[in-house]
Structure 1
C-alpha cells in the first residue's frame, strides 16, 4: 500500500529528530574531554578531529536531508495554506544549515572569527536559528491555532539564543545555550511529525471502517 505524503513527512521528521538526539548523546559520551555544556554541537565534528567525517556525513548531513524531505512532503500538501507554507520555507533553513555545516565543518573550538571554512559554517549556523525562530513565530500567527503562544515563545527563545551565542561572557555555556535552541526546534519537529502520523493512522482506520 502506498503511504500518503503525510506519513512520509511524519516518518522523515521523526527520523531526523531521533537521529540528532541519539547522535548528540552518543558522540558526546564517546569523545574524550568533550564538555556538552561548554562546547557546541558542531565541535563534535570539528575539522581535523578523528570522528569528523563519521559525524558530519553520518549524522549532520542525513539529519539535514531528512528534514528537507519532510518539509517538501508537507509543503506539497499545503497549497491552500500560504501562511503555513511561509513557515515551512523559513524552517527549511534548519535543514539547510545542517547540510552546509556538515560540508564546511567548524575549526577546533568553533571561534566566532576563524578560517574561511569557519565563516561559512558560522553563516549557516546563524541562518538556522534565524530561520527556525522566524518559522515558529510565523506558525504562531496562524489564526485559530491552539498552540500559538507556545510557538511564539519558542520562536523568541530561539532568536535569543542566536544573540546569546555571540556574547563573550557566555562562552563557557555555549554548548548548553545552543542545545536549548536545538531542543526547541527539533522538539517541535518531532511533535508535529508524531501528530501527523497519528492523524494519518486514524484516517486509515476510519476509511477501513466505512460500510
Structure 2
C-alpha cells in the first residue's frame, strides 16, 4: 500500500534510492506544505502571524540539509546561519551614518529574531515583544526584515517582519538551493543533503530506504501488544 510523502509524490518515489528523487520530494514538501499555504494565507486579512509561523520554520530545517548536521542543541546557531544565508545583506538607509560596526547589528538582530519570532511562535504560539508584523512605513523601502537600531550603540529595539517580502525571499532561496542540488557542481552540498535525508527519513513511516551501501544505523523491530 502506498501513501503520500509530499503533495505530488507517493511512497513509490523513493524506491529508486536515487538522490534526485529525494531532492524532488524535499522540494515538493517545502513548496507544497509551507510555501503554498503561506501564499494562500497572504490573501487573508490578519493572517500575518500564521504566514510568519510557516515561514520561520523553513530556516533551521534548511540549514540541517545544507550542512548535513543535526541541529539538536544548536537550534539558535542553525537558525541564525540560515537567516543570514537567505538575507545576507543589511541595507543602511541614506543619511543614517551609523557609528557602530554593522556586524554588531547583524548579531543583535539575528538573536532577537530567533528568540522573539522563532521561539515565540513555535513555543508560545505568538510573537514576543521584540517583533512586529506588517509593512514598513511608506517613507521606508519595503524589506523582509526592517530593524530599529540605536545610532550610536547598534542595539536593536525591535524587528519588523514583512510576511509578503519574507515569503518572496524564502521562495527564491528554496528554488536556488534545489537547483544547486540538481546541478551537482558542489558535491559536498549533495553529500550533506543525502546525509540529512537518510538521518531524517530512513526507517520511518515515510518508507524511505537508504541508498545502496548506506547504513542508517537502524534495525527493524516488531512491536508487541501488552
| TM-score calculated relative to the size of structure 1 | 0.33
Q: Higher RCO, 1 or 2 (CA under 8 Å, sep at least 6)? A: 1
Instruction: Write 1 or 2 for the structure with the bigger share of helix.
Output: 1
Instruction: Write 1 or 2 for the structure with the bigger share of strand.
Output: 2
Q: Considering only CA atoms, is the larger Rg found in Structure 1 or Structure 2? A: 2
